[in-house]
Amino acid sequence: MAKRVGVDKWLFGATLVLVVIGLLMVFSASAVMAKERFGSPYAFVIRQSLWAVFGLTAMTILMQVDYRRFNKPNVVFPAVAVSVLLLLVAFLMQDSHATHRWIRFGALSFQPSEIAKPALVLFLAWFLQNRMHSIEDFRGTILPAALPSLIFIALILKEPDLGTALVCAGVTALMLYLAGMNVRYLGIAALAAAPVLYFMLFRVKWRRDRILAFLNPESDPLGKGFHIIQSLIAVGTGGLRGLGYMDGRQKLFYLPEPHTDYIFANIAEELGLIGAIAVVGLFVVLGYRGMRAAILSKDPFARFLAFGITATLLIQAFFNISVVLALVPTKGITLPFISYGGTSLFIMLASIGVLLNITREVD
């Protein structure tokens, strides 16, 4: 197959539009909060803009770098090792709200779990590319493939961050399935994980409260059900065209984390159903073009890498939007490219850069 001169313009364009929408909505959702906390309404959006510049620079560089350079043990294993080390270092940091999700050096901070996700995809793509013929070998293929994922999931759960752990588990399962693994192994893995998931959901009080609030938020509208109800109010009051940019009301100390976890609710309130569908449509474009690159790639490594990057993005978007619409319990997963969060934005843009380079190889 002839090599394409340029990258996938649809993928590139959709990414840029999402980043711009993200910066606009971060400012809208955070201006009042930033003014109260830092004395300037631009505090959050300036930080996010800087990370966007860094991320777009990384994307531009990586879309020019041949993805085959990453298909080496001396790249894959250090990436996994550094990710594990950073996840461990996070436990040495001072906790924030009883969690150890961040590594902080003065004003600089980042989430190691965001780095672990692309490292996991890279490892699985490298490991599985030559193992499809032996994918039924539990000891020789399945267990070694799943081991880094299990380590990442265990450390991320310890932070604790169940949402990101579920993303890692989902991406691992999908990539193993793509490699040809029998569904029965996924069933066995699900059964083995069920007791752990039960304990994490129902034996940890604050998570159990989230589940109960999700099932019946009206039972405690000013307490446990407050977040869900305020999110649905924001979505519902937006109507077809929305209240107008910057004119949302729920972000004014009603909607929890309006610039991060619940930014899609702010989009629905201010831009309406039309704006919300437009954002979802952009993710559909990203998903379609990413999966297209994976399907058309002749190189198994490229196929797995493109699939893993795309699957990670789509799983996160699905969970975030579903939480806002009260379709699943609160998970604390950000909306890719849009939610405030420098580490997530930078890593996602860098990953898209690799994906764009892969699209050079397909028609």
* Helices marked H in the chain: 9-38, 43-62, 73-89, 112-128, 143-158, 162-178, 183-202, 205-215, 226-237, 263-296, 300-324, 342-359
pLDDT tens digit string along 31-53? Answer: 999 998 889 999 999 999 999 99
pLDDT at residue 97 tops 70: no
Q: Is 54 exposed, middle or buried (0-12, 13-18, 19+ CB in 10 A)?
A: middle
> Does 1 fall in a domain?
no
> Does 187 fall in a domain?
yes
The token pair that represents 118 in the structure block:
């692309």
User: For position 62, what pLDDT does the model report?
Assistant: 97
> Does 56 fall in a domain?
yes
> Does 176 fall in a domain?
yes
pLDDT tens digit string along 68-95? Answer: 999 999 999 999 999 999 999 999 887 7
pLDDT tens digit string along 290-326? Answer: 999 999 999 999 999 999 999 999 999 999 999 999 9
Please give the tally of structural domains in the chain: 1
Q: Which range has the top average pLDDT, 207-221, 227-241, 272-286?
A: 272-286
Q: Which of left, alpha, beta for 39 (phi over 0: left; psi -120 to 50: alpha)?
A: left
Long-range Cβ contact pairs of 197-202 (< 8 A, separation 24 or more): 200/157, 200/160, 200/162, 201/162
pLDDT tens digit string along 242-252? Answer: 999 999 999 98
User: For position 240, what pLDDT does the model report?
Assistant: 94
> Does 44 fall in a domain?
yes
* Domain containing residue 45: 9-359
pTM comes to 0.94
Q: What is the mean pLDDT of residues 156-169?
A: 92
> Does 3 fall in a domain?
no
If one counts every other C-beta atom within 10 angstroms of the C-beta of residue 171, the result is 25
> Does 211 fall in a domain?
yes
Q: What is the mean pLDDT of residues 180-196?
A: 91
> Does 254 fall in a domain?
yes
User: For position 63, what pLDDT does the model report?
Assistant: 96
